[in-house]
Structure 1
Amino acid sequence: MLPILLLLLQLSLLSPSSAADFCVGDPSLPTSPLGTFSCKKESAVTATDFIFSGSLATPGNVSNLLKAAVSPAFSSQFPGLNGLGLSLARLDIDVDGVIPLHTHPAASELLLVTQGSILAGFISTSNAVYCETLNQGDLMVFPQGLLHFQVACGDSPAVALASFSSPSPGLQITSIALFGNSLPSELVEKVTFLDDAQVKKLKKVLGGTG
């Protein structure tokens, strides 16, 4: 009985109660099993804890393989979001740039295009594809956990704001998960139906070994 009581006490310290107005995260304290930060003492909370003066107004560095950048305002960058069930990120996609197929295991995503045009889409669990070109002012939603992507269209860079239904949405990029790891090439070939040359080429590009 005592271990159960101790576990309940720990969980109550790690997450905001229903009576609490907020739970500003304290990264110096342990996180809960769900990944939320422990609450900062309310007496130590100030107005600045609810303000993010980060990089969302500044274009991200798109000098990379993807020609794209994501500038996050998640709970790890903005502890005031802790426990509130939302977060935000800025997407910068250069001409011919791409945010490749990926998932957010812990959140749905709402994308607002603020500059340029983006070809965006997602794939359902029945393998139906929902894809559309978005222009400035357009919104698209990506349901939680589903594979989705964004590609810049036209001859100018694109910018978008992505909001999430979690302060820590999580991220897994499909190509990196497959080819940026230490799984033996033979095993990757078996599970992807690709030949040895293709797998080794992708592993070299994405930093994988084996």
Structure 2
Amino acid sequence: MSIEFVITTLFVVVSPGVGALYTIAAGLGRGGRASLWAALGCTLGIVPHMLAAITGLAAILHASALAFEIIKYAGVAYLLWMAWSTLRETGALSVEAERAPKSVRKVITESILINILNPKLSMFFFAFLPQFVAADTPHAVMRMLELSGVFMAMTFAVFALYGLFAAAIRVQVISRPAIMVWMRRSFAAAFVALGAKLALTER
């Protein structure tokens, strides 16, 4: 395992993105348990992109403008829906006294979709992983799976830390209604900004 891969992966994972944002929102809105489920869901959302990169489907996505645009705008629409749900207090920042199983499924589903509907993640795997796997490497597929596993493990660990920290200050936040209103608006604005950034993304 090269130190260059670990450092680059850590930099990418730590950099704030929609997955980290959602996990933090889950921690603030529903507590530590929900933030861990969100971190897990965001991590699972990486799997389709990893498989696409390994099997070569990412190359097709990169070559097909139509496929890229369809996935991109589906992601934009989903981020805008997340922003609207957050403002209506039915999204990640809805505060619930009881955490029913349905709520857990909702958190996992939303967090998985957030990463699945992000075509740039496939592009990242397509361009990033091959740099650390030489063409003549024996069992290259297994090597890519190993590196992908490290990327996913680091993603879960970092997102879980983000979420648990948010959950730790949850009581201080939700005990002040004005702060909750400000937080919802801020998260909604962030989802809109990420959607706009994705809409402007080129292959």
Task: Give me the TM-score of the superposition, normalised by structure 1.
Answer: 0.19
Rg larger in structure:
1
Higher relative contact order (CA 8 A, sep 6+): 2
